[in-house]
Structures are given as C-alpha cells and as structure tokens.
Structure 1
Amino acid sequence: MCGPAGSGKSTVARRMEADGFVRLSFDQEAWERGIRHMPLTDDANREIEIQLRRRLVDLVEGGHEVVLDFSFWSRAMREEWRQVLEPFGVVPETIYLPTDRATCLRRVEARGRTHDGDFDLDAATAATYFDHFETPDPDEGPVIVLEV
C-alpha cells in the first residue's frame, strides 16, 4: 500500500486481509504497544521496523501473500523494502491510492482514535505528511493505481 495519511490504505489493506493476505502494519504494531499519537519516536519506529521485516521474511518464506499497510511515503523507503524481498525472487506490486489533499486531511481530522490506524495526528503534521509524499512511478516496479 502506498499513500499519505488518510488516503484509505488501511481500508484497502483490511479488504485484502479478508481475502487471505496477511496484513503487516506499523500502525497496528504501534497501537498494540499502547502508542496513540503519531509520529513515532525514532526508537519506536526502528523497533517496529525490525520486527516487521522479520515477520515479512518469515511469511514470504512460508509462502504467504502479504500486504504491507505502510505509507511508503518516499521512493527510498519503497526501495529498501523491495530489497528485503529481492533474495526471495519476489517483485512486489505497489498499490498507490492517489487521494487529494483535502480528502486526506478531512479523513485524518475525522478519526475516532478507536483502533489501529486511527491515531491522533495534528493537522500540521498530516499536512506535512501529504506535502512530502513522493508519488510512485512505473520505473520503480509494478504500480497499481487504485481510486478509493
């Protein structure tokens, strides 16, 4: 999954999970640790990333289909995670949700903070996330553009 906060990534990822994919999510891991505000501290981000990378490798080795419910806000981040999968011959598809800024910010503001993915995120931070998001392009690998 790829898109800024409020683009609909978790909604789509949960549908994929219902269809048999294993969903891995920074937000879910943070929520389970009792974190309710974003952004994560550097230490929490690093710990969660290490755990998710290990789980991804284990799942891929076990033959499971996985959806990474992350923002993948930068090309560099997307490339780092592709490299995790390269030794397994996996070419990941990037599902990009091109949602406009106003919709993303409205969705973030409307969050009820009742479940993972529903974090307290102030308007300025949400706007910064949107404004610094790097749109994926086909030369990165397979990109599926999904309007939600």
Structure 2
Amino acid sequence: MNMRRGRVHALHGFIGSGKSTLARQLERELPALRFSPDEWTRALLGADPPEELYRPALAGLLRLFQAQWVQAACLGTDVVLDYGFWLRRERDELRTLCAGHGLNLRLYRLQVPDEVLWSRVEARNARVSAGQESGSVWINSWDFQQFQKHFQPLDPDEAYFSPLG
C-alpha cells in the first residue's frame, strides 16, 4: 500500500508578519494540523513569561512538536508549522528532516515593513492585556528590537511560496 505523505507548510517571518493568521487559514482550508508554540507557551507559562522559563519551555515544545508533526505528515496529514524559522540553520535542518522522511516542504515567506510589524504587535499586546487574545504572548518594544537582531531573512537560494499564491 502506497500511502500519500502529508505536506509540511512552514511559515517564515518575524513577529507581527501574519504567521499565525496564515497558519489558521491553512489549517482550515487544506485542512491541516497546526503547530503553534505561542499557544502552548501561553497556556503553560502565561501571557508574559520570564525569559528563564520561556526559552527552555519553547525548546521542549519544539522537540515534542517535531516528533508529532513528522509522524502526522508521514501518515498523510498536512501540517502547518507556525514557528517563524528565523535562522538559516533552522530552515536547513527542516529541509534535511523533510527530505529524510520523503516529505514535501512548502516554505512561505511573510514579509511586511518594520513599522507595520510593530503596529501589529502593539495591537496584539492590547488584546492580550484585555484578555481577548488567548493564543499569544505579550512582547515589549525592547524585546522586539532585540529579537530583530537575530532574524535572518531568506537567502536568494532559498525557494519560497508567497502566502497569496
């Protein structure tokens, strides 16, 4: 029996670029199983977790998620990885992992101007503070600026899909 493998949909973009919005859209339209670490860290650690708890929790979740999404995709379910894949090394590791399991990878690039990113984060922070956003964590402007220093845009040799097509 030759079972169809699921497709892996990975979202590359910085905070506020629309990854979670696209992830939910793909989850509904494909359909697909969505993996969004922000929702889990929020449920486990609250809306504004301290850094010393957040990083180890995130690393553990990503290891757990990987085992689950690989198995789901190998069994024929499309998966959406709402992680960001900020580093080239992370994207290369993802490509290698998918290739090793015979999984088709579709990497989406979400890119918007910096001022739009921050305005979206501010609006999301307001919803988080008001208890209207249950799947996100609160991000202050200093952290946002520090995180930007670690973001690596796609290199010219990295194939990607536009979220619109």
Question: TM-score normalized by structure 2?
Answer: 0.79
Q: List 4+ stretches of structure 1 deviating above 4 A.
A: none
Equivalent residue, structure 2, for 1:6: 16
Instruction: Give the CA deviation at 1:138.
Output: 4.8
> Quick one: distance in 1 between partners of 2:156 and 2:69?
23
> In the TM superposition, what whole-angstrom CA distance separates every residue of 1:6-65 from its partner, at most 9, and x where no partner exists?
001100110001110111111122123243226563321221111111111111121111
Equivalent residue, structure 2, for 1:26: 37
> Quick one: distance in 2 between partners of 1:74 and 1:7?
16
Unaligned runs of 5+ in 2: 1-10
Equivalent residue pairs, number: 145
Amino-acid identity (%): 28
> Quick one: distance in 2 between partners of 1:23 and 1:10?
10
Aligned counterparts, 1:40-55, within 5 A = 41-55=54-68
Q: 1:134 to 1:44 in 2, by over 3 A?
A: same
Equivalent residue, structure 2, for 1:56: 69
Equivalent residue, structure 2, for 1:108: 121
- Assess if the C-alpha contact under 8 Å between 1:21 and 1:65 holds in 2: yes
- Assess if the C-alpha contact under 8 Å between 1:93 and 1:143 holds in 2: yes
- 2:163 paired with 1:146: yes
> Quick one: distance in 2 between partners of 1:29 and 1:85?
23
Letter in 2 for 1:17: E
RMSD between superposed Cα atoms in Å: 1.8
Letter in 2 for 1:9: K
- 2:144 paired with 1:132: no
- 2:96 paired with 1:78: no
Instruction: Give the CA deviation at 1:94.
Output: 1.1
Letter in 1 for 2:20: S
Q: 1:2 to 1:103 in 2, by over 3 A?
A: same
Unaligned runs of 5+ in 1: none
